[in-house]
Amino acid sequence: MSNPKLAITLGDPAGVGAETIVGAWSQNRVHQAARPFVVGCATVLRRAVDLLASELSVVEIDSAEEADPSPEVIPCLAAGGLRSDSIEPAVASAAGGQAAYDALKLATRLALDKSVDGIVTAPLNKAALHAAGHHYPGHTELLAEFCGVERTAMMLYLPPGVADVGPAGLGVVHVTLHISMRDALDQMTQERVLDRIQLADDALCRMVAHTADFSPRIGVCALNPHAGEEGLFGDEEQRVIAPAVERARSLGKQVEGPLPSDTLMVRAAAGEFDAVVAMYHDQGHIALKLLGMQRAVNVTLGLPVVRTSVAHGTAFDRAWQGTADSQGMVEAISTAAHLASVSRSESHQSDAVVRT
């Protein structure tokens, strides 16, 4: 089969997205793994090409079928009615938020229509998104609505080769995400913890789909210091997390917890676990980004399409200075290509079973 076709959204044009895409484009890994094209404003891409003194050529296309990428050519499919001169670099604006929204909506539709095998997203700015009238906490929630699903989760993922992680890499799946800490406590239920364990198990199995009898080792974070110290510092471990872990074990999952998150992440970084289930956003994000900020990949679980992203934001403090690191974009494209290949293989196997 040919390499998976991937739609890469430009994200917020005021941020570092265009620079990371241009910086990643000339790397051989990108084109060995995928057939990518960009969804967004070609003029913004050309501005990034000039900024980085690149010899890349940006070619405007009218459909995904026209995309013919190469290390020298970036095909670009327009989304929405963005005027390039309406975006001020490194400034959050309604225009930038709308541009990111339009690109994501089009890329998702292409994935749902099977015109592309997956999508990779450059970062959007949440304040700009809200200024444009789209009141979502971020990409994950937008994608869930576009795809018509309710069961989604974010997994931050370090590919193999980073730190001492195992052959599947290291994934951190979050029970709660873009909400306040006070609300996170209310949303942390047995059902949600169990669901995230199951999503983590499935995601890591897909990362090593070629490996027979692979069973991900999953560590589940405690919420409170010292895992609650037998109830002295809180009872969520005994009341919510431990029962969910036991239910997961009864389903055959290789899972431990609740474990104090400080030592659990050290053990995971040393290769003792393939996935960690974190109770809230920063519990997972801080630890994983310390391990590999520039190589971490954001993978959305629970969608009917493949979606990955860089693990950083729009970085307005660094945007349009020619200093953005593109390694995260390379990893996001490579991971999306791998997952898309797994999905295509599963689809072909399913079709073969139906025919027989």
pLDDT at position 161: 75
**Other C-beta atoms lying within 10 Å of the C-beta of residue 42:** 19
pLDDT at position 278: 97
Average pLDDT, integer, range 11-40: 96
**Other C-beta atoms lying within 10 Å of the C-beta of residue 249:** 13
Do the domains 153-301 and 1-150+304-313+331-356 match in fold? yes
Q: Is residue 354 over pLDDT 60? A: no
Give the homologous superfamily in CATH for domain 153-301: Isopropylmalate Dehydrogenase (3.40.718.10)
Round the average pLDDT of the chain to a whole number and report it. Answer: 91
Enumerate the domain spans of the chain. Answer: 1-150+304-313+331-356, 153-301
Distances (CA, A) of 227 to 38, 146, 245, 258, 291: 45, 37, 14, 7, 23
pLDDT tens, residue by residue, 101-157? 999 999 999 999 999 999 999 999 999 999 999 999 889 999 999 999 988 999 999
Instruction: Provide the H-helix boundaries in the chain.
Output: 17-25, 28-33, 42-51, 94-112, 126-131, 139-147, 181-187, 190-207, 236, 242-250, 261-269, 281-292, 327-355
pLDDT tens, residue by residue, 207-254? 887 666 788 999 999 999 887 677 778 899 999 999 999 999 999 999
pLDDT tens, residue by residue, 309-350? 999 999 999 999 999 999 999 999 999 999 999 988 776 655
pLDDT at position 163: 63
pLDDT at position 147: 97
Report the percentage of the chain scoring pLDDT > 70. 94
pLDDT at position 1: 60
Contact 210, 202 (CB under 8 A): no
pLDDT tens, residue by residue, 192-219? 999 999 999 999 998 887 666 788 999 9
Distances (CA, A) of 18 to 46, 58, 281, 344: 9, 12, 26, 29
pLDDT at position 349: 59
Report the percentage of the chain scoring pLDDT > 90. 78
Nearest CA to 43 among 21, 63, 64, 58? 58
Transcribe 97-126 into DSSP letters. HHHHHHHHHHHHHHHHTTSSSEEEE----H
233 vs 53 pLDDT, higher one = 53
pLDDT at position 356: 54
The Cα 241–Cα 276 span in angstroms is 13
pLDDT at position 294: 82
304 vs 229 pLDDT, higher one = 304
Average pLDDT, integer, range 271-281: 94
Contact 35, 67 (CB under 8 A): yes
Nearest CA to 87 among 98, 103, 76, 75? 98
Output the pTM of the full model.
0.92
pLDDT at position 355: 53
pLDDT at position 291: 87
pLDDT band at 87 (very low <50, low <70, confident <90, very high): confident
Task: Assign a CATH topology to domain 1-150+304-313+331-356.
Answer: Isopropylmalate Dehydrogenase (3.40.718)
